[in-house]
Every structure is written in C-alpha cells, then in structure tokens.
Chain A
C-alpha cells in the first residue's frame, strides 16, 4: 500500500509471503504475464459428489480474471479452494494443486490462517461484523499482531480512503457498521480485507446484492484496485465481466460436475470464443 505499510509488514509479520511480495516490489521485473496463482488439475467433492473436476489454469498478476458460467457449476466452490475456506466445510475433499506465489496451498506445512491473510475474500452478501466501523478493520489487524494505536488508526484511514469510504464515515467511525447502507457495507468489507495488504483478492459476486448505483461504485473500485492486486471475481453479470475483466474463465456443467471449458483474454472470449457453448452462453441462448 504505502512504504510505511510495507515496512511494518516486514517488521511485524515476517512471513515468507511478505518477503516475497516486498521483493517483487523492489525489483520492477515482468509484472504482466507473471502467473500469481497456478491451479493444476483441481477437483472438489462435497460428500463424495463432485462440484467441479480437473480445473487447470493460471491467473496473471495484478489483473482481473472473471469467472463466469451458469449457477451450480462450481464457480464459488472453486474460489473457496484458493484460500482454503473449504477447510471449514465438513466432508469436503479437494484434490489437485494450487500455488500462490511460492506457496503450495494444499501442502501439509502451509498454515491456512496465514495463507488467508495473503488471499483476501469478499462475499456476495456484505457481512460486516456486528461491531463499530473502526473495529471491523482493527480486529483482523490486531489478530495479526498489529498493536500500536497510531499504526492501527493510520491503517484504518488508509483502508477506508482506498475504498472511497473515508469522507463518508470519518465522523462516525465508532458507530455500528450495520448502520451503513449495503454498498457502504460491501466497501467496508473490502477495506477490511485491504487493510491486511493481501496479494490476491477473491470476489464472489461482490455486486449482486447491491442496488445499481452502489454496484457501479464497487465496480469502479475493483477496476481501480486491479493494478495493485491479483483479482479473481465470480460474476453472473456478463456485461460486468466484459466491462472490467482482463481475462475470463468460463465454467460449464458436464456430467453433473463443473468444468472449465474456456479461458483467455476478455476480448477473445467475448468476441471470438473457441467453444460453441461459450458462444451460446454469451449470446444468451444457453445457460
């Protein structure tokens, strides 16, 4: 975020992730075209029933990848595999390989808690904690060892400025987060995730429960963040995917399990799809 934040990152967290990220900040290197997330032959089963099978793809650093496809083809399940939120679901089995930066996500030595700090996630329904606006952002920071009051205050302000919420809430930081509107709540959730300085942001239909105006604000925000974070976004809104995504991945149901049928740059997938199903889905005649 800022140099100050990066310094504290190094001093207070000292995770391998932080080292890796700050290293990439120092040397400019090839940002575009470098795979931030690599997924190999990933499958997921709930109670022995497959949600999706055999997904292999790479997500490019600092770009927005939209995952599109009809309901029930495993898009959200796929997203939760990337930050191991699947650990919370009983009788859920993940096979295959996910690599984020240098970290093997499913390696036994990988700590899910520190992984999730590097991979932020926003859900469909805004879900601020039933605490004050300030505490919503401070709580996860404190959990990760940030204790200094001044530093906390500064991070809260920076995160709220990042999502354009600061001017709206700076006078009522101590009032309950639940008093905010839906769109403001979703931006607060985003600020809460950004405060942890993640490398990757997973967005699960972040605009679908918002009114058109709030949805537009959040969408613009996602675009403005894309140069700083690798963003993977599930969306049902094809127009939105077309507007803001750099890359698109299309999921489809085959034999009662979701599969990745096409992936590529946004323009190629929308204007010149290689699969007839994709073409039909984009035209609105399937899905």
Chain B
C-alpha cells in the first residue's frame, strides 16, 4: 500500500500528500467497520450471557416450565426445537442439494426455466418470515390437515430455508473448476458419477456454508412457527403434537409474561450456545468428510 503510494508520488509529486491522507482514511474506515461488527457481536452475546448465566443449571435444561415459563426449565422446549429442526433439515437438505445440483450442472445457463427458478428463489429468500408462517398455516395446518404440529412447523421452516440452501449449493458447485468436469468427461465418466464422486466432494464447502446459514435461520425463527407449530410448552409425544420452539418461548416470556425476562435471557443463552455448537459441529463434520474423501 505504502509502496504503491510512494510510486504514485514519484510519477506526480502533487499526488503524494493527497494519496497518503486518502490511504490513512480508507485504512481507518476499514478497521472501524470491522471493529464495529465485532463490538456489536460481543455486546449482544455479552448482554445475553451476563443476564442469562445466573439462571443456567442442569435442572433448567431438563425440567418443564411452570407458571407460564416464569419458573421451571425448558426441557420440552429444547426437545420441540430439536424435532422441528430435524424435520426441517431432513426435508430441505436432500431437496436443496438436488435442486442446487440441477441448477448448477444440468440446467443450461441460457435456459428460461433455470432463470425463472433462480429469480423465484432469490425473491423467496427475501420474503418476510411471517408470510411463510401464514402460508404454512394455510397449507400444512389447514389444507393438509396437520394442525398446529411440529411437522407443520418443520415443513414451513424447510420452505423458508430451501431458497438459501439451494443457492449456496449452486454456488458451491459453480466454484468447482471446470477442468474437473472436462477431465471427468475426457475419461469417459458419466455425468451422474462425476457429480457424485468428483463435484459433490469439491462442492462440500459451499454446501456446509448453506447448511450453517439455513440452520441459523431455522433456529432463530419465531414468526413462522407461532402460526404453525404453536405455543404448547408440554413435552411433545409425536411429530403431530404442537411444540414450542426456543425462539417462540423467548418471545412469549419477554412480551406476554410479566416477570419472564430472567428465564427469557437464560433461554436466549441456551439458544445462542446451541447455535454455535451446531454450526461448529456442521463445519467439523463437513471438513472431516471432505478429508476422508480426499484421502481414502
């Protein structure tokens, strides 16, 4: 950076001071931007930690809530959240990988169908979650007769997560160098095998990024779940039962229950911590699988 400025100074003597001050300004702005982001992150996490860590205990994690959530723990709520996330991922991952692979590898870049699918996905990714909630309620709960249930909630979340997942998978495949496709074709490998054995391992980082984003969005979702998986804070007996997700619990405690803030904070701490753990685990598993593929 300094070398470049000095060279510019040699070419035109008048440019030297201006170039230097601009350089200093840009450097400060870049550092400030990055610093601000980190500060805000630590502020939020720190606030949740400071207010929430007092209520955290083993019994909080396994007990049922009492007094509308003011007392007791969040055992059933953790179970419901896990079930909703499982339904969501079980549906969205295979569909997302399939659709992403189709868009990247099978759909010609000039195809009208491909262009409209991409445009629709980008628009869907920007649709507010409350709209997905209303759609999920109308379609899964009412039309398909699933009622307020973990299944309805998970499927609604799958609809919400799919656009992000598909586009990430597509980008993952897109970032695989064309030489691999050409080499595989030149070796007389079929498209399906090239996809499964060469492109998919190479696209895993993109897939993992999409998965992490998708899980984050699903775990954090409140609005879409209020209308679909409901409020019930009892331990779910099956996927057809209504179940309250952690984010819904936090919303309810902080907005509707007087004196619910301490438990809302502790639940928020559990939510943030489990998000970090799941994301870390997803990346680790992805890396491990990738290494296994490249070594074995």
Point out residues on A near B: beta carbons under 8 Å: 83, 85, 88, 90, 113-117, 120-121, 123, 125, 127, 129-132, 135, 139-140, 143-144, 174-176, 178, 189, 192-193, 196
State which of A83, A90, A131, A143 has its C-beta within 8 Å of the C-beta of B186. A83
**Which of A130, A132, A196 counts the most chain B CB atoms within 10 A?**
A130
Query: B188, A131: Cβ atoms under 8 Å?
Result: no
Please name 8 pairs of A and B residues whose Cβ atoms are closer than 8 Å in the assembled complex, sorted by A: A88-B185, A115-B188, A117-B188, A120-B186, A139-B197, A140-B189, A143-B187, A143-B189
Instruction: Write the nearest CB–CB distance from A121 to chain B, whole angstroms.
Output: 4
Query: A85, B186: Cβ atoms under 8 Å?
Result: yes
When distances are taken between beta carbons in the complex, the residues of chain A under 8 Å from B51 are: none
When distances are taken between beta carbons in the complex, the residues of chain B under 8 Å from A140 are: 184, 187-189
Query: B188, A125: Cβ atoms under 8 Å?
Result: no
Query: B183, A88: Cβ atoms under 8 Å?
Result: no
Q: Is B181 an interface residue, CB under 8 A from the partner?
A: yes
When distances are taken between beta carbons in the complex, the residues of chain B under 8 Å from A132 are: 294-296
**Which of B180, B189, B293 counts the most chain A CB atoms within 10 A?**
B189
State which of A88, A117, A125 has its C-beta within 8 Å of the C-beta of B181. A88
When A and B form their complex, which 9 residue pairs have the shortest distance between CB atoms, in order from nearest? A117-B188, A127-B179, A116-B188, A121-B186, A140-B187, A176-B294, A127-B183, A143-B189, A143-B193
Query: A129, B295: Cβ atoms under 8 Å?
Result: no
Query: A116, B187: Cβ atoms under 8 Å?
Result: yes
Given A90-B108, A135-B296, A174-B295, A127-B180 contact (CB < 8 Å): yes
Q: Is B288 an interface residue, CB under 8 A from the partner?
A: no
Query: A130, B189: Cβ atoms under 8 Å?
Result: no
Given A127-B179, A127-B182, A196-B187 contact (CB < 8 Å): yes
**Which of B177, B183, B201 counts the most chain A CB atoms within 10 A?**
B183
**Extra pairs beyond A120-B186, A176-B294 (11, CB < 8 Å):** A83-B186, A85-B182, A85-B186, A90-B110, A123-B183, A129-B197, A129-B198, A139-B193, A143-B189, A143-B193, A175-B295
Q: Is B202 an interface residue, CB under 8 A from the partner?
A: yes
Query: B201, A131: Cβ atoms under 8 Å?
Result: yes
When distances are taken between beta carbons in the complex, the residues of chain A under 8 Å from B179 are: 123, 125, 127
When distances are taken between beta carbons in the complex, the residues of chain B under 8 Å from A123 are: 179, 182-183, 186
Which residues from 160 to 198 on chain B have a C-beta closer than 8 Å to any C-beta of chain A?
177, 179-190, 193, 197-198
User: Closest chain B residue to A111 by CB distance?
Assistant: B188
A178 CA / B295 CA spacing, docked (Å): 11
**Interface SS of B by simple majority:** helix
Query: B197, A88: Cβ atoms under 8 Å?
Result: no
A175 CA / B293 CA spacing, docked (Å): 10
Query: A113, B201: Cβ atoms under 8 Å?
Result: no
Instruction: Write the nearest CB–CB distance from A200 to chain B, whole angstroms.
Output: 12
Given A130-B294, A132-B295, A132-B296, A85-B183 contact (CB < 8 Å): no
When distances are taken between beta carbons in the complex, the residues of chain A under 8 Å from B201 are: 130-131
A125 CA / B179 CA spacing, docked (Å): 8
When distances are taken between beta carbons in the complex, the residues of chain A under 8 Å from B108 are: 90
When distances are taken between beta carbons in the complex, the residues of chain A under 8 Å from B182 are: 85, 88, 123, 127
**Which of B186, B189, B295 counts the most chain A CB atoms within 10 A?**
B186
When distances are taken between beta carbons in the complex, the residues of chain B under 8 Å from A178 are: 294
Instruction: Write the nearest CB–CB distance from B179 to chain A, whole angstroms.
Output: 4
Query: A174, B188: Cβ atoms under 8 Å?
Result: no
Contact indicator per residue, chain B 188-229, by CB within 8 Å of chain A (1) or not (0): 111001000110011000000000000000000000000000
User: Closest chain A residue to B108 by CB distance?
Assistant: A90
When distances are taken between beta carbons in the complex, the residues of chain B under 8 Å from A193 are: 186-187
When distances are taken between beta carbons in the complex, the residues of chain B under 8 Å from A144 are: 188
A193 CA / B186 CA spacing, docked (Å): 9
Query: A117, B187: Cβ atoms under 8 Å?
Result: yes
A120 CA / B128 CA spacing, docked (Å): 52
